[in-house]
Structure 1
Amino acid sequence: MSVINKMLTDLERRQGSGEPAAVYVAPARGQGWWMLLLTLICGLALGILSWRSWLYWQQQQERSHLKAVVLPPVSLPSEQAPLPGSSVSELAPQIPLPPAEAQPAPGLSADASTQAAATTWAREASPDPLAQAQTDEGADLDEMDEPQWQDGEPSDAELQPDLHAELAVEAAPEPAPRRAPSLKIETVELSPAEFAVLSERKANAALVKGELSEAEAQFSALLRQTPDNEQARQQLAGLLYGQGRLAEASALLEEGIRRQPDQADFRLLRARLALAEEDKRGALAWLGGARPPLASNLDYYATWAGLSQELGQNAEAAELYVRLLRVQPDQGRWWLGLGIAEDGQGHGERARDAYRNAQLHGNLGEASQAWLGQRLAQLGP
């Protein structure tokens, strides 16, 4: 604190005595060489920029001057001179234009674009010394900006694309009017096999739907086309039998038997029709007219054996039952039929054995079982 007090005291003393205070002057720094270098670089950059700007301005002035020159219309050697009232736009279709200037610039009308193209072509083809001199001066600049024209004469479509498109649309032929849709029906002849398949399909579909008349018509047509069709004949005979038309059904089956004498189904159906008319002997005659394979016609032989037994032909009935039992020995009703046939011939021992086999295998109704018990009791042990 003493040093500060001394300084303050000394300052007051000097102020009181009027002595000027000492002023500290900072020493001036010397400018370095880098400042000079920076100044030179900036000056050089400004000079280059000014020179490039002046060149650009000159180019723009020359281009605007060239575009402003308008020459009088040039008459072609093969064309007549235009009339005094004609304009550049009237000569435009006759002047070949380069492909790049065929399309008008956006925002310009067709006349303006055509006049500009004609003026440019006239400028290039004109031998005017002023235009030639100006072109030589800016040759280097024009080579960079102006497009190089392709050799060859442009087509009409390239010169006036809009007009060419309109003419093409007008010249295009009108589309032929559409004809109204028509239905064409052709007659196709089916082979017998194809007709049989189609008729059978229709007849079966009618049977499923319950349309019996349609089914009958289809089966009849099928038989007229293929008279040896067994399935169609049986189906039609069944339809006629179901409607009570027994005579027609019998005639249909008899015709089938004449065509195919060994056809077991036709004979069996015809025998059942005879039984429906209570003609047992006629039914037996139809069954006895053929001997089809036993294994595939068991009902045929069983019906034949039963009719023979009822009509008292026990020997024939016994023979038929034996043949049936050789194929199916476990059928009680056939053992019962064999026992009755043997009993009718007076063969008690054979009848008793057949009755016992019938009881053993069963498959009999209550009435048959009761009668069989009574008959065994009568024959004794």
Structure 2
Amino acid sequence: MSLINQVLNELENRGSNAPLGEIAIRAVPPRKRSYVKLYAFLAMALVVVLAGVRWFMERPAPVPERAVIAVAPSNPVATDPNAVPASAPAPVMAGGEPSVLQSSDGLHGKPLLEVGDEEQVEPAPEVEKPKRHNRKRKAQQLAGNAGDLPTEDPEIQQLKTVSPQQRAANEFGKANLALQEGRTNDALAGYRNVLLIDASYKEARRAWVALLINLKRNDEAESVLKKGLRHDPHDALFAMQLARLQVARDDVPLALKTLQKTLPYAEGQADYQAFVAALFQRLNQHEEAVAHYRVALRLVPNGGIWWMGMGISLQALQRNDEARVAYQRALATSSLTPQLQAFVQNKLKEL
């Protein structure tokens, strides 16, 4: 103890003799607190919260309970001796799910899903279940009452029941409208669509051909006409249109061949017969030309230009008397243009 006291006294003496500025007073810094554990705890808590939120969002949606129809008859239901006992399996209804029979509160008509031991509830009345042999009868009743159901919109029914011919007619109307409005490409596409729907739609084919000819696209017009004749070889108008296009490109033999294919179906058409006669005449086959001109004139006696054509072929055959009569008949019809009248008069002078 004495040694300790001595040391303390020496230190005290030194301190008292030392100047004030030389006395070193050092403050001991406070000990730093560690937040590592706190941060770790917060991180773990955050992970747990995120995991809980994710589980809550990804859990399967709860299956809604089936709606229960409360049965609360005011009068007792008469039992049917043919009714199926309550202990029998529930019949399968629409959707493949069994029907559910629930007991009900007699006072409020509320469904009793769970009944405690202390509650006394009146037993639910037995409900007659449908018999299997009555299903067909019910189906027939439903079918018979179908007329009482509201009908669909007439426009929707029309769209459902529209035929290809009606669709083709609609497209034809749209194509004609496009042509009237100057939309030539739309009109061409419309006529093509009509024939894709109904290849026998002749009005669309004729309109398509006429438009192609006006556009100087004769090759395409010939192709359309050939397809029309393959579809209907009896159409004399298509044959005449095709023959005229072939004559326009100086293929008279092919044009005559085209007409001869359809000739059996056009024997009663005067203009068809006269066209065949004119082609024979251009090929210098005057006997055949005269024969077809006679057929045409029997059908239309006042065909002045046909009388003139027959007179030319008769004159080429050196049958001048017959030719003179034919020229005179041509002038008598008064149907020739002034130029043709002058031509016939010159022919008469030659005879």
**TM-score, normalized by length of structure 1?**
0.47
Aligned to 1:261: 233
Two-structure CA RMSD over aligned residues (Å)? 2.1
1:220 to 166, 173, 192: 192
CA–CA distance in structure 2, aligned partners of residues 250 and 272 of structure 1: 10
Aligned to 1:334: 306
Give CA deviations for 1:197-230 in whole Å, capped at 9, x if unaligned.
2111111222222222111111111111111211
1:344 aligns with 2:316: yes
Structure 2 counterpart SS, 1:330: coil
Aligned to 1:44: none
Aligned to 1:192: 164
1:286 aligns with 2:258: yes
> Structure 1 residue 286: deviation in Å?
1.1
CA–CA distance in structure 2, aligned partners of residues 198 and 243 of structure 1: 24
Structure 2 counterpart SS, 1:363: coil
Q: How many residues align?
A: 193
> Which piece of structure 1 moves more, 247-256 or 360-369?
360-369
CA–CA distance in structure 1, aligned partners of residues 309 and 241 of structure 2: 22
CA–CA distance in structure 2, aligned partners of residues 353 and 244 of structure 1: 41
CA–CA distance in structure 2, aligned partners of residues 332 and 197 of structure 1: 40
CA–CA distance in structure 2, aligned partners of residues 228 and 357 of structure 1: 42
1:361 aligns with 2:341: no
CA–CA distance in structure 1, aligned partners of residues 311 and 272 of structure 2: 20
Q: Which runs of 5+ in 1 are unaligned?
A: 1-185
Aligned to 1:237: 209
CA–CA distance in structure 1, aligned partners of residues 302 and 284 of structure 2: 25
Label 1:353 to 1:195 Cα distance change in 2 as closer, same or farther (>3 A).
same
Structure 1 counterpart SS, 2:262: coil
Structure 1 counterpart SS, 2:284: coil
The within-5 A match list for 1:54-203 is 190-203=162-175
> Structure 1 residue 276: deviation in Å?
2.0
Instruction: Quote the sequence identity (%).
Output: 33
CA–CA distance in structure 2, aligned partners of residues 205 and 299 of structure 1: 32
Aligned to 2:42: none
- Decide whether the 8 Å contact of 2:256 with 2:276 is kept in 1: yes
Give CA deviations for 1:3-38 in whole Å, capped at 9, x if unaligned.
xxxxxxxxxxxxxxxxxxxxxxxxxxxxxxxxxxxx
CA–CA distance in structure 2, aligned partners of residues 242 and 367 of structure 1: 27
Give CA deviations for 1:146-201 in whole Å, capped at 9, x if unaligned.
xxxxxxxxxxxxxxxxxxxxxxxxxxxxxxxxxxxxxxxx9956431221121111
The within-5 A match list for 1:202-217 is 202-217=174-189
CA–CA distance in structure 2, aligned partners of residues 272 and 264 of structure 1: 12
Aligned to 1:307: 279
2:297 to 325, 334, 358: 325
1:248 aligns with 2:253: no
CA–CA distance in structure 2, aligned partners of residues 301 and 212 of structure 1: 35
Aligned to 1:373: 345
Aligned to 2:150: none
Aligned to 2:40: none
Structure 2 counterpart SS, 1:290: helix
> Structure 1 residue 301: deviation in Å?
2.5
- Decide whether the 8 Å contact of 2:270 with 2:300 is kept in 1: no
CA–CA distance in structure 1, aligned partners of residues 266 and 222 of structure 2: 24
CA–CA distance in structure 1, aligned partners of residues 167 and 302 of structure 2: 46
CA–CA distance in structure 1, aligned partners of residues 178 and 226 of structure 2: 26
Structure 2 counterpart SS, 1:289: helix
Label 1:300 to 1:210 Cα distance change in 2 as closer, same or farther (>3 A).
farther
CA–CA distance in structure 2, aligned partners of residues 294 and 364 of structure 1: 25
CA–CA distance in structure 2, aligned partners of residues 374 and 239 of structure 1: 40
> Structure 1 residue 294: deviation in Å?
4.8
CA–CA distance in structure 1, aligned partners of residues 266 and 272 of structure 2: 10
Aligned to 1:14: none
1:272 to 219, 226, 244: 244
**TM-score, normalized by length of structure 2?**
0.51
- Decide whether the 8 Å contact of 2:278 with 2:289 is kept in 1: yes
Structure having the larger proportion of residues in helix: 1
> Structure 1 residue 304: deviation in Å?
1.9
Aligned to 1:127: none
